[in-house]
Structure 1
């Protein structure tokens, strides 16, 4: 049964998300060198590599996640906290999930968190879409086979991690037209967009492959694909561009469509909920002020727990004293009492009943 956006948590306005695959070598080495360079250049304030968790046996059965945390400031005063987790991929390489959260709603003109964690060099292959082996920084030509193209789109939009844009070339372009649309996007969108490019002769097969998604690409135009599920407020005609001039000039209408699509309320992508919870609840890279506040919070929590234990102990002590008094009174009255006679007077509660009531009163006080 397809998951509906109404039952999935929505992506908070303060959060930036990305996912991909690092193809070659050890991703943690690349991240470590890149973050050290960003810290030296003061692009970030600080970073932390978390130690590997789990025993050796657990690591062999299910390799542990390698985690890096980083923090920086945007607009001089707004703090951004970010976490990237790297795990071995099912078919080689390493999968990564990056979650960043700012103290204010996210502004796409802020630096891309992926661009701060990963190096800028084009020969470092960290920018692969792990699902469909697509590039996040370059143009992705469509397969020649229409059925393969249909399968590609169906798999690519699952999960909701990336914004997929399809551009059809009205005629074969030169080098000026082979510039990714990401070049003109705000920095915060450049590593969230996957651009597909269809050759002039692929127009009919392209639209056949897109029928399942309910969208069509105008000849020489473009469309922003809906995710699965589609964001609230998505309508295909609002994100279709009639003409894209691939002459090296800025495709203004397409940039506007992508930017508007990115601003739509959307559910958290598959797997993002756990990553966001880890960022918020298991954060280690604290400033001195945050560490002090954390310790104060722990002291207050322990003091409250101690006070509750003290109150409980006093209640138990009071109940025990009353129980001993009632028991002593019962024993004295039992020894001195004559043979019971019937009386028409109102019966007086026996010491045993008094003892029972003492425990009932204590139970009521302790529960309150």
Structure 2
């Protein structure tokens, strides 16, 4: 195989700003969620957060995961859509510099941006302007690269526009035909609530590995606890992964459940925890690690990224005992 993971998600420039609870309330947001905004709201936030920005970089959930796979030693490519503007060029260059092959179509308007509002309790609330990324079409998915990949990785964020939905379904169908395994991240509780029925159909028809936190997994399955959610979801896919923050994670295949403890660290910014968890898990599976060891690697990589500002790591060393 040429690639370990073929990722698809929104191409967004991440703009992180430290805020207090009052600003979240003033903006009428529910803390901890992801909210789609329009051009007018994008301009408002740029002005409103001007003096609060602490970090900006090319990102988006799926891209962060692909960069994480590359950082760990895997081969990744990434499909999305940008505009012919400064952010779009930065995005393409940034992926290449991080060792990820960019399969980026070019559309009209502006490249997408995600304002990540960080509150003192380390929660992040995202206001996302999808921009050009929401225009991705099925014919812009590089099927040749997809067929030469071990995994197709899709995030729930791709389900908010019809064009993207069709692109995702096309990619999943091609992956199923080619024997490429499909991993799907639920991404966000509000995504699950908006698209619950669609996500359930995807799980039944196309998904091999499902990744979600306890709240997302319980919402999708209708269960009242993480263990029951993992059990129900594993009935419809090969592997169900339910993360539980400081309580670790459950990885279930059939009747076998691995309870993976979390690593104790001092968390500064939880922005990239889920993205790096997915990177560690996917890299581990592609490297032939057992589910338990891949889960331990995922927990370790997630723990490392929350100790710094930003959604990515510049480097990482994996202690030998993690892989044993």
The question of a shared fold, defined as TM-score above 0.5 by the shorter chain, is answered with: no
Normalised-by-shorter TM-score class: under 0.3
Larger radius of gyration: 1
Report the structure, 1 or 2, having the larger strand content: 2
